[in-house]
């Protein structure tokens, strides 16, 4: 049988109505709103399955006459057991009476399996039987005898059940106690075992059907090991579920969470519930992300974010565009144009007027050509950032020669017009 996980509770058995109850204060009080939701019935039907004994409670006497599944056993207050440490029934000479069954809701899915039997010693102890019931593991249950009856009994059978235990093992089993009483014993055990005040105050627990569930965040795993060992011998404790988060385990969870978030280079140190983050991250967003990832881990109470953001490398300065040469070339071209226009010598009044009119028109064209040249030169110089090349000087000289040629042609035309007149 495999270990079955899930919430536990008790099926308490009672005597049929009108029958005398020989066990004091049995069955225990059951309050509907209290956890666990223990039940009271007249019998429990156990059916063997691969993973364990499936258990169903029979709430009243009418259910005793309902046939169960083939191979199932109906256990009631009339069921008696013995001890058979070597598989031999009655070897110890001790008689046991069944008082109830402890069950576990397997994986919390609604199907319950027996985990323990609640029994009381009825005889065989020289100095009297203890009145307190014992809680025996279901793994010790042994079918010692099985007798089938004839058809008149509707196919029913009788079985002799024993527990594979010695007398000493039986007396060392945990006794049944209500959960509030067990809680007081557990509190005393924690106070006596966990001496460090800070660690002791960080531990809490719950008791449910004899199961002690531990919660907290102790730094060292040795604290949990010592506490579990002490609780095994605590009165009334049936089993222990350790849900505490230790410092080593929390470190592992933090590392896995950071690696999953592509932050594996971040160093994380855990101490007293706080996680200190150290290292370098590329951006400020990554720094905040690391803190958020760690805070989502159960058990982390705070984060000290000492992460540093890596500085970006400084970019090279951009050299300003060189406009001085372009400005000098423009000034030189303008000066050449002005000098050329000042060389005109008037001949006669009519020729001078005609020449001035032609000069004005031609000068506008030359000026436009010169400005276009200057713009082209300025764009080239701004893109390359270099000084004017010899080709630029040649362009200026060609423009001046074109202007002089235009002026001479205009003067000759004016003289021809004057002669013709």
Residue 34 lies in a domain: yes
Residue 2 lies in a domain: no
Is the Cβ–Cβ distance between 309 and 339 less than 8 Å? no
Residue 318 lies in a domain: no
Residue 301 lies in a domain: yes
Residue 47 lies in a domain: yes
pLDDT digits (tens, 9 = 90+) for 212-269: 999 988 888 899 999 999 999 999 999 999 999 887 778 888 888 999 988 888 888 8
How many domains is the chain partitioned into structurally? 4
Same domain, 304 and 394: no
State the pLDDT confidence band at 117, using cuts at 50, 70 and 90.
very high
pLDDT tops 50 at residue 341: no
Same domain, 49 and 66: yes
pLDDT tops 90 at residue 135: yes
Largest CA distance in the chain: 167
Same domain, 163 and 237: no
Kindly state the average pLDDT of the residues 194-211.
Answer: 92
Same domain, 195 and 283: no
pLDDT tops 50 at residue 417: no
pLDDT tops 90 at residue 313: no
Same domain, 210 and 277: no
Rounded distance between C-alpha atoms, residue 369 and residue 262, angstroms: 64
Residue 27: is the preceding peptide bond cis (ω within 30°)?
yes
Same domain, 71 and 134: yes
Same domain, 63 and 149: yes
State the pLDDT confidence band at 110, using cuts at 50, 70 and 90.
confident
Is the Cβ–Cβ distance between 263 and 290 less than 8 Å? yes
Same domain, 112 and 94: yes
pLDDT tops 90 at residue 29: no
Kindly state the average pLDDT of the residues 399-418.
Answer: 54
pLDDT for residue 379? 41
State the pLDDT confidence band at 399, using cuts at 50, 70 and 90.
low
Q: Which residues pair with 21 in a beta bridge?
A: none
Same domain, 162 and 183: no
Comparing C-alpha atoms, which of 259, 339, 255 is closest to residue 300? 255
Q: Quote the domain boundaries for residue 223.
A: 179-242
pLDDT for residue 298? 78
Three-state secondary structure call for residue 291: helix
pLDDT for residue 73? 86
Rounded distance between C-alpha atoms, residue 207 and residue 191, angstroms: 17
Rounded distance between C-alpha atoms, residue 243 and residue 245, angstroms: 7
Same domain, 59 and 160: yes
Picking from 171, 191, 207, the residue at the C-terminal end of a domain is: 171
Residue 40 lies in a domain: yes
Rounded distance between C-alpha atoms, residue 22 and residue 329, angstroms: 126
State the pLDDT confidence band at 397, using cuts at 50, 70 and 90.
low
Same domain, 394 and 284: no
Picking from 242, 257, 273, the residue at the C-terminal end of a domain is: 242
Rounded distance between C-alpha atoms, residue 396 and residue 258, angstroms: 70
Residue 316 lies in a domain: no
Picking from 121, 142, 171, the residue at the C-terminal end of a domain is: 171
Residue 3 lies in a domain: no
CATH number at residue 264: 3.30.1340.30
CATH number at residue 201: 3.30.300.130
Comparing C-alpha atoms, which of 54, 98, 96, 107 is closest to residue 75? 98
**φ and ψ at residue 2, rounded to 5 degrees:** -90, 160
Same domain, 155 and 57: yes
């Amino acid at each position: 049988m495999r270990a079955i996980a899930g919430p536990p509770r008790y099926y308490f058995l009672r005597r049929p109505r009108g029958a005398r109850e020989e066990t004091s204060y049995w069955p225990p009080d059951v309050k509907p709103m209290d956890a666990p939701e223990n039940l009271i019935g007249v019998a429990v039907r156990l059916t063997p399955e691969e993973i364990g004994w499936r258990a169903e409670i029979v709430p009243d006497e009418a259910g005793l006459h309902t046939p169960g599944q083939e191979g199932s056993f109906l256990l009631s207050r009339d069921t008696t057991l013995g001890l058979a440490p070597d598989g031999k029934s009655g070897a110890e000479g001790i008689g046991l009476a069944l008082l109830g069954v402890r069950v576990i809701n397997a994986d919390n899915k609604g199907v319950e399996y027996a985990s323990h039997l609640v029994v009381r010693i009825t005889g065989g102890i020289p100095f009297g039987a203890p009145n307190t019931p014992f809680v025996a593991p279901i793994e010790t249950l042994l079918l010692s005898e099985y007798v089938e009856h004839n058809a008149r009994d509707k196919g029913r059978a009788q079985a002799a059940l024993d527990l594979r235990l010695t007398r000493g093992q039986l007396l060392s089993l945990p006794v049944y106690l209500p959960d509030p009483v067990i809680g007081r014993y557990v509190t005393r055990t924690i106070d006596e075992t966990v001496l460090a005040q800070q660690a002791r105050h960080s531990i809490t627990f719950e008791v449910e059907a004899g199961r002690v569930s531990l919660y907290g965040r102790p730094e060292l795993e040795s604290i949990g090991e010592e506490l579990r060992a002490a609780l095994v011998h605590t009165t009334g404790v049936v089993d222990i579920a350790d849900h505490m988060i230790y410092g080593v385990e929390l470190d592992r969870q933090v590392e896995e969470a950071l690696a999953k978030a592509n932050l594996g280079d971040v160093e994380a140190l855990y101490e007293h519930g706080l996680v200190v983050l150290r290292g370098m991250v590329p951006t400020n967003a990554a720094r905040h992300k690391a803190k958020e990832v760690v805070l989502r881990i159960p058990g982390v109470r705070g984060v000290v974010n000492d992460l540093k953001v890596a500085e970006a490398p400084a970019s090279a300065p951009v050299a300003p565009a060189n406009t001085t040469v372009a400005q000098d070339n423009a000034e030189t071209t303008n000066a050449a144009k002005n000098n050329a226009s000042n060389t005109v010598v008037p001949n006669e009044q009519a020729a001078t007027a005609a020449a001035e009119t032609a000069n004005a028109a031609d000068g506008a064209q030359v000026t436009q050509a010169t400005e276009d040249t200057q713009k082209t030169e300025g764009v080239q110089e701004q893109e390359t950032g270099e000084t004017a090349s010899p080709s630029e000087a040649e362009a200026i000289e060609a423009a001046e020669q074109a202007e002089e040629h235009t002026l001479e042609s205009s003067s000759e035309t004016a003289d021809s017009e004057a002669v013709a007149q």
